[in-house]
Chains A and B, each alone.
Chain A
Amino acid sequence: GENVEQHPSTLSVQEGDSAVIKCTYSDSASNYFPWYKQELGKRPQLIIDIRSNVGEKKDQRIAVTLNKTAKHFSLHITETQPEDSAVYFCAASGSGGSNYKLTFGKGTLLTVNP
């Protein structure tokens, strides 16, 4: 089955700096890669996703890049703000018979220091 590795497990940045979180996946058939944000004590919420037919997607201060050859994808947050502090999870989903399943990475605790 799919295996998703996520790094780093913790990340601390100063307000205004950029943050980058990286994930690798094992199943070359995976074609959908969402990112979820989970604030302390809250539910995970989708912040951005990318499909395998594009290499990059942006939404204001957030961007995701995908390298299918290398089987890795990354989340980039620019001009970080204290409210960006949360745990971020990457995930991957395959095609065909396994397209119902999201496999999550272990998460990255991002702390933005004022």
Chain B
Amino acid sequence: DAGVIQSPRHEVTEMGQEVTLRCKPISGHNSLFWYRQTMMRGLELLIYFNNNVPIDDSGMPEDRFSAKMPNASFSTLKIQPSEPRDSAVYFCASSLRGAQETQYFGPGTRLLVL
């Protein structure tokens, strides 16, 4: 298996632009997590999907952030409009079943908003 796949790996954009991050979880995993990592705040859970259904989005910073999982093999995290404070590394992770199983992280997307 190729592991969790994320794209793009790097994204540089200007404030106000829309950013879409993509994730393909490991086949057969029914749980998908989006995290944001910054020096100041560490690793933060943004949203969790179970069987393609959003279970908890309380970590999503504000209405500018949205996430979808249209099927078991694809998820997106969208920021619209983007702001400089959104600059961070965004990780997608998947597990067989929930947070109490090994979470396999993707390589991350390094986002810089100018």
Contacts and interface: CB of A to CB of B under 8 A. Distances in A.
Contact of B99 (A43, A102, A106): A102
Given A100-B48, A101-B45, A104-B42, A43 B106 contact: yes
Interface in A15-42: 31-32, 34, 42
Contacts of A45: 105
A32 B99 contact: yes
A102 B107 contact: no
B108 interface: yes
Interface residues on A, range: 20 to 34
Contacts of B44: 104
B91 A100 contact: no
Interface of A: 31-32, 34, 42-46, 49, 51, 89, 93, 99-107
B105 A43 contact: yes
B55 interface: yes
A32 B107 contact: no
Contacts of A107: 42-43
A104 B45 CA distance: 9
